[in-house]
Chains A and B, each alone.
Chain A
Amino acid sequence: MGPRLRVDNLIVELPTRAGWIRPVNEVSFALDPGETLGIVGESGSGKTILSLALMGLLPPGARCRGEALLQVHSSSTNGTDLPTENLGTVAQERMRRLRGREIAMVFQEPMTALNPVMRIGAQIAEAIRIHEPRLTKEETHSRVMHALEQAAVSEPAKRARQYPHQLSGGLRQRTMIAMALAAGPGVLIADEPTTALDVTVQKQVLELLQRLRCELKLSVLFVTHDLGVVAQIADRVAVIYAGRIVEEGPTAEILRAPRHPYTMGLLRAAPRLESGKLMPIPGAVPSLDALPVGCAFAPRCPSRIAECDAAVPELLRVNGGNESHRTRCILAR
Chain B
Amino acid sequence: MKRSLRETGNILEVRNLRKTYPLPASAFVNSRRRAVAVDGVSFTLAKGETLGIAGESGCGKTTLARMLLRLIEPDSGEITFCGREWLGARGSELRGLRRRMQMVFQDPAASLNPRMHVGSIVAEPLAIHEPRLSRDERGKRAAEMLQAVGLDGDETFGRYPHEFSGGQRQRIGIARALILRPELVIADEPVSALDVSVGAQILELIARLQREFSLTLILISHSLPVIAQLATRVAVMQAGRFVEYGSVEQVLRAPEHPYTQALLAAVPEIPA
- Measured in the bound complex, the distance between the Cα atoms of B56 and A272 in whole Å is 18
CB distance from B220 to the nearest CB of A (A): 14
Question: Contacts A200-B56, A227-B196 given: A271-B229 contact, CB under 8 Å?
Answer: yes
The answer to whether B167 and A284 have CB atoms under 8 Å apart is: yes
In the complex, which residues of chain B have a beta carbon less than 8 angstroms from the beta carbon of A279? 200
> Which of B15-23, B33-41, B91-99, B259-267 interfaces with chain A?
B259-267
Mask: chain B, 188-201; 1 = CB below 8 Å from A; 0 = not: 00000001111111
Contacts of B74 in A (CB 8 A): none
Chain B residue with the shortest CB-CB distance to A251: B271
Is the Cβ of B195 less than 8 Å from the Cβ of A42? yes
A198 nearest in chain B by CB position:
B56
Is there an interface contact between B197 and A265, defined as CB atoms closer than 8 Å?
yes
With a cutoff of 8 Å between Cβ atoms, the chain B residues found around residue A278 in the complex are 200, 203-204, 229
Give chain B residues whose Cβ lies under 8 Å from the Cβ of A203.
Answer: 265-266, 268
Per-residue interface assignment for chain A, residues 276 to 298, with 1 indicating a CB less than 8 Å from any chain B CB and 0 otherwise:
00111110110000000000000
Residues of B within 8 A of A198 (CB): 56-57, 222
* The 5 A-B residue pairs with the shortest CB-CB distance in the complex, in nearest-first order: A228-B268, A280-B200, A269-B200, A198-B56, A42-B195
The answer to whether A231 and B229 have CB atoms under 8 Å apart is no
A interface residues, Cβ below 8 angstroms from B = 42-43, 169, 198-203, 206, 225-229, 231-232, 252, 255-256, 265-267, 269-275, 278-282, 284-285
B269 interface hit (Cβ, 8 Å): yes
CB contacts (< 8 Å) of A265 on chain B: these are 197
Smallest beta-carbon distance A98→chain B, Å: 32
With a CB–CB cut-off of 8 A, which chain A residues contact B267? 199, 228, 273
Identify A42's interface contact among B197, B201, B222, CB under 8 A. Answer: B197
Say whether B228 faces chain A, with CB atoms less than 8 Å apart. Answer: yes
Taking a contact as CB atoms under 8 Å apart, the answer to whether A199 and B228 are in contact is no
Residue of chain B at shortest CB distance from A267:
B270
Hey, which chain A residues are within 8 Å of B226, CB to CB?
271
B166 adjacent to chain A (CB < 8 Å): yes
A231's contact among B198, B200, B252, B268, by CB below 8 Å, is which?
B268
Q: Which of B56, B197, B262 contacts A266 (CB 8 A)?
A: B197
Q: Are B197 and A269 in contact (CB under 8 A)?
A: yes
Q: A271-B225, A271-B228, A278-B229 are in contact. Are A199 and B266 (CB under 8 A)?
A: yes
| B196 partner, pick from A42, A200, A255, A256, beta carbons under 8 A | A42
Q: Does B175 contact A (CB under 8 A)?
A: no
> A273 vs B225: C-alpha distance in the bound complex, in angstroms?
4
The number of A-B residue pairs with CB atoms under 8 Å apart is 103
A42, A199, A226, A267: the one within 8 Å of B263 (CB): A199
A232 vs B201: C-alpha distance in the bound complex, in angstroms? Answer: 25
A-B contact sample (9 more), CB < 8 A, given A203-B266, A225-B196, A284-B198: A198-B57, A199-B222, A200-B56, A266-B196, A273-B228, A278-B229, A280-B203, A280-B204, A284-B167
State in angstroms the CA–CA spacing of A201 and B229 once bound together: 23
A-B contact pairs, 6 of them (CB 8 A): A231-B270, A266-B196, A269-B199, A273-B224, A273-B225, A275-B228
B195: chain A residues at CB < 8 Å are 42-43, 225, 285
Contact with A along B46-74 (1 / 0, CB 8 A): 00000000001100000000000000000
Query: Which residues on the A side are within 8 Å of B57 (C-beta)?
Result: 169, 198
Given contacts A271-B200, A280-B201, whether A232 and B268 have CB atoms under 8 Å apart is: yes
With A200-B56, A255-B270 known to touch, is A281 a contact of B200 (CB < 8 Å)?
yes
In the complex the two chains form, is A227's CB within 8 Å of B225's CB?
no
Closest CB in chain B relative to A56 CB, distance in Å: 27
B199 with A273: CB separation less than 8 A? no
- In the assembly, what is the distance between CA of A266 and CA of B199, in Å? 11
Residues of B within 8 A of A200 (CB): 56, 262-263, 266
Question: Which chain B residues numbered 224 to 272 have a C-beta less than 8 Å away from chain A?
Answer: 224-226, 228-229, 248, 252, 262-272
B147 touches A (CB below 8 Å): no
Chain B neighbourhood of A206, CB < 8 A: 268
Minimum CB–CB distance for B163 against chain A, Å: 13
CB distance from A310 to the nearest CB of B (A): 25
Inter-chain contact A273/B264, CB cutoff 8 Å = yes
Q: Provide the bound-state CA to CA distance between A278 and B225, in Å.
A: 11
CB neighbours of A199 from chain B (8 A): 56, 222-224, 263, 266-268
Whether A271 pairs with B203 at a CB distance below 8 angstroms is: yes
CB pair A269–B196 under 8 Å, yes or no, is: yes
Contacts of A232 in B (CB 8 A): 268
Do residues A252 and B271 form an inter-chain contact, with CB atoms below 8 A? yes
Q: Which residues of B contact A280 (CB under 8 A)?
A: 197, 200-201, 203-204
Of A255, A278, A281, most B-chain CB atoms within 10 Å: A278
CB distance from A320 to the nearest CB of B (A): 19
Q: Cα distance A169–B165 when bound, in Å? A: 27
Residues of A within 8 A of B248 (CB): 275
- Please, how many angstroms separate the alpha-carbon atoms of A23 and B226 in the complex? 30
